[in-house]
Structure 1
Amino acid sequence: MRRGDTLFARLFGIFVAAIVLGHLIGFLWFRAYGPPPPPPPKHPNSLVILEESELRQPSPLGGPLVPLLLQLLLLLAAAWFGARLLTRPIRQLSAAAERLSENIDSAPLAESGPQEVRKAARSFNRMQARIREQIAQRSRILTAVSHDLRTPLARIKLRVEELEDGHLRTRMSQDLGEMTAMLDATLAYLREQRTSETRHLFDLQSLVESLVENAQDNGAAVSVVGACLPLHTQPLALRSCLNNLLDNALRYAGHARIELHDGEGQIEVRVIDNGPGIPVEQRDAVFEPFFRLESSRNRNSGGVGLGLSIAREAALRLGGELLLEESPGGGLTAVLRLPRR
């Protein structure tokens, strides 16, 4: 690569050119408008009379102020252009990283410009390609795991049904059910991490009302209050988040109330229950995968400790946040805040 084809060389050349041009303008300015040279000394016996045209009168523009102002303007223009040249690749890289966070299949950066910019763009594109390959590889692994584990579990379940001991058959069926539920939850969690979808205008209120109606059809005590306007979001991620929050409330409390609060810059969804709640010191830990409270480690809870983890993963991908608070009168309130953008 040519040494002159670098960002340093371009910036250095801009400032050198501005300084040289500023000095040249100052020199030409003083030459044209500067004070006249002193007249030649008169010989005592000379009667030479200088013509009026030969006597150059000093110009009001002959002072140093004007060329200094011109030099200052040139340096300011060079600094402005240099700053734009320096920050443009940073802005492009930042925009590409933002696109990548929303869509892993976004267009790669153009590998053009100075040497440093081309190298940064090339490294960024290689990183994006490696991430896509790793996600594709994990997708293939998930598909293989889902098939290879479900098949022997199904065979074992059929053989368990043939056991004559009813008590043993029941216990083994429960264990197989827990294994299947853990497999499904783990695959759902990994699938959530690799999901990528574009944003578009979506009716959040209709989604919440649909989830509430489905829960009510299954006999659950669920209600919704409030209203909100549509927002730009990722529908699948939003549905996954709200589904897991509602399931978590119904699993541990048996009921839930959803509140919608529409603000100027964000929308807040509150999933409220009056169940056993979660101690303050453990509200951060429950977002860790496979973490369960001691009180929920039994067969009847039905959870494997991934519901809140999936919900937070989805909330972060939406650019929002998920918090846990204590409900009025006891219980747990999951607060989902989504930016309106």
Structure 2
Amino acid sequence: MMRSADTLFARLFGIFLLAIVLAHLLAFAWFAQGSPPSERQNPPPPRTALGDPGGPPPGPRPPDDRPPPKPGVFGGPWIPFASQSLALVIAAWIGARLLTRPIRRLSRAAEQLSENLDSLPMNETGPAEVRQAAHSFNRMQARIREQVEQRSRMLTAVSHDLRTPLARMKLRVEQVENEALRDRLAQDLGEMNQMLEATLSYLREQRSQEEAQLFDLQALAESLAENAQDQGADVQVEGHCRPVRVPPMALRSCLGNLLENALRYAGHAHIQLLDGEQEIEVRVIDRGPGIPADKREAVFEPFFRLESSRNRNSGGVGLGLSIALEASKRLGGSLALEETPGGGLTAILRLPRA
């Protein structure tokens, strides 16, 4: 019996039942205290037949000199209505709070889980339905974390185990006498190594956790541009930006991969910084082949590459934009791709100031 009473339904039912009973008691008290006396309590004098010597003389009845009844303690009729309304409003407010509180808790826990897979589990307290929902949510979080960790361990082990045979193959390729064949084999091995490195980087980006701190975004953009210029690339930085509180490694990973993507397919890039009161906008602009509008969402998928980029000269494995997107989520911002006016691709990173 006690277990069945410890439910959200029982609590809501008890609150509304108490409110209804209280409202009726207030109305009963008003009618008992404020209504005029009944006819049975103060009956009028009996009327006798015409001609009765003991009766009153014929003619109009004398006016009643009794004073009108005074209003009761509760005053006019609006008092019970206001009391009943107040009782029901209070009950409805308490019931709504009881209903929305576990939903708000579950919503906050889901939001924290989407941002950090290692967030603390929910407290399994409250009514039976709330405890059951919290327990199911915690089990789901544990299973998701376990599956992600298993996948990461498996891919990391596979990538690590592949390095040894690839290293042996690279040594054996050097012994091939045919120069053309040796170059093709070496290029294939280089692409495999690059794919392994990109896969490990993508997995690290998904599981990486770091605290936000005040960081100089403009200095980072200028540093990346100088490094690219030292390697012979044409990269320019325009605009100014005040420091922003972000996870530094995530910002470096996001902006670095966007710049690398522009240099790979266009050979040049233009970084534009737009500082605002509410958000910061970073644009990485190039004049390369661009991406069709119907493919701009698909290119964020891991290992997705356009047909035009599937050649030996591009060297891409389809993870650069995926890593940039994961990093932008860790930054609390958004990443979008647009067509550059006149041709090319513009990657737009938006970061909130707060």
Structure 1 length normalisation: TM-score?
0.89
What is the correspondence of 1:236-255 to structure 2 with a 5 Å cutoff? 236-255=249-268
Give, as a single letter, the amino acid of the residue that structure 1 aligns with 2:271. I
Paired residues in the alignment total: 334
Deviates more, 1:227-236 or 1:78-87: 227-236
Q: Is 1:59 aligned with 2:60?
A: no
Aligned to 1:28: 29
How far does the alpha carbon of each residue in 1:184-240 deviate from its partner, in whole angstroms, 9 at most, with x for none?
Answer: 222222332333444444332232222222222333221111122333433322222
What's the offset of the Cα at 1:42? 4.3
Q: Distance in 2 between matches of 1:140 and 1:278?
A: 34
For the residue of structure 2 that corresponds to 1:3, the secondary structure is: helix
- Residue segments in structure 2 that go unaligned for 5+ positions in a row: 48-53, 56-65
- Higher mean C-alpha deviation, range 250-259 or range 281-290: 281-290
- CA distance in structure 1 between the aligned counterparts of 2:206 and 2:249, rounded to whole angstroms: 12
Q: Does the 8 Å contact 2:27/2:80 carry over to 1?
A: yes
Contact residue 156 and residue 200 of structure 2 kept, 8 A: no
Matched, 1:312 2:313: no
Letter in 2 for 1:29: W
Identity in percent: 69
Tell me how far apart the structure 2 counterparts of residues 230 and 113 of structure 1 sit (CA, whole Å): 44
Quick one: which of 291, 316, 322 aligns to 1:278? 291
Alignment of 1:91-130 (within 5 A): 91-130=104-143
1:295 maps to: 308
> For the residues of structure 2 that align with 1:264 and 1:179, how far apart are their CA atoms?
45
Q: Distance in 2 between matches of 1:92 and 1:194?
A: 25
Shift in CA distance, 199/116, structure 1 to aligned 2, threshold 3 Å = farther
Report the more deviating stretch, 108-117 or 197-206: 197-206
Is contact 1:25-1:67 (8 Å) kept? yes
Deviates more, 1:13-22 or 1:184-193: 184-193
Q: Which runs of 4+ in 1 moved over 4 A?
A: 41-46
Write the letter of the residue equivalent to 2:70. P
Contact conserved, 1:238 with 1:318, CA < 8 A, in 2?
yes
CA contact under 8 A between 1:104 and 1:196: conserved in structure 2? no
Decide whether aligned partners of structure 1 residues 288 and 100 sit closer, same or farther in structure 2, where only a CA change above 3 A counts. closer
DSSP-derived class of the 2:120 partner: coil
Distance in structure 2 (CA, Å) of the matches to 1:140 and 1:297: 29
Give the superposed CA RMSD: 2.4
Which shifted more, 71-80 or 101-110?
101-110
| In structure 2, distance between residues paired with 1:77 and 1:296 | 65
Q: 1:198, 1:126 → 2: CA distance?
A: 27
Aligned: 1:72 with 2:85: yes
- After the TM superposition, which residues 153-302 of structure 1 pair with which residues of structure 2 at under 5 Å, given as runs? 153-302=166-315
Query: Which residue in 1 is equivalent to 2:15?
Result: 14
1:96 shift after superposition: 1.0
> How far did 1:4 drift?
1.3
Q: Distance in 1 between the 2:342 and 2:102 partners?
A: 54
Segments of structure 1 that go 5 or more residues without pairing to the other structure are: 47-53
Structure 1 residues 152 and 136: alpha-carbon distance in aligned structure 2, compared to 1, 3 A threshold: same
In the alignment, which residue of structure 1 is the partner of 2:60? none
- Aligned partner of 2:154 among 141, 160, 184: 141
SS of corresponding position for 1:270: strand
Question: TM-score, structure 2 length as denominator?
Answer: 0.86
Deviation at 1:109, TM superposition (A): 0.9
Offset at residue 114 of structure 1 (A)? 0.9
The question of whether the paired residues in 1 share the 8 Å contact of 2:269 and 2:285 is answered with yes
What letter matches 1:187 in structure 2? L
Moved more, 121-130 or 219-228: 219-228
Instruction: Name the CA shift for 1:56/1:242 in 2 (closer, same or farther; >3 Å).
Output: same
Rounded Cα–Cα distance in structure 2 between residues aligned with 1:292 and 1:57: 92
Letter paired with 2:11: R
Does the 8 Å CA contact 2:289/2:345 hold for their aligned counterparts?
yes
Alignment CA distance shift 1:11-1:199 (3 Å): farther
Per the TM alignment, residue 55 of structure 1 is displaced from its structure 2 partner at its CA by 7.7
Distance in 2 (alpha carbons) for counterparts of 1:199 and 1:105: 17
Q: Aligned equivalents of 2:121 and 2:349: distance in 1?
A: 32
User: Do structure 1's residue 324 and structure 2's residue 325 form an aligned pair?
Assistant: no
Deviation at 1:62, TM superposition (A): 4.5
Cα distance in 1 between the residues matched to 2:307 and 2:153: 35
Whether the aligned pair in 2 keeps the contact of 1:102 and 1:198 (CA below 8 Å) is no
Q: Which residue identity does 1:16 align to in structure 2?
A: L
Q: Does 1:334 align with 2:335?
A: no
Amino acid in structure 1 at the alignment position of 2:160:
H
Question: How many Å apart are 1:41 and its aligned residue?
Answer: 4.8
The alpha carbon displacement at 1:85 in A equals 0.9
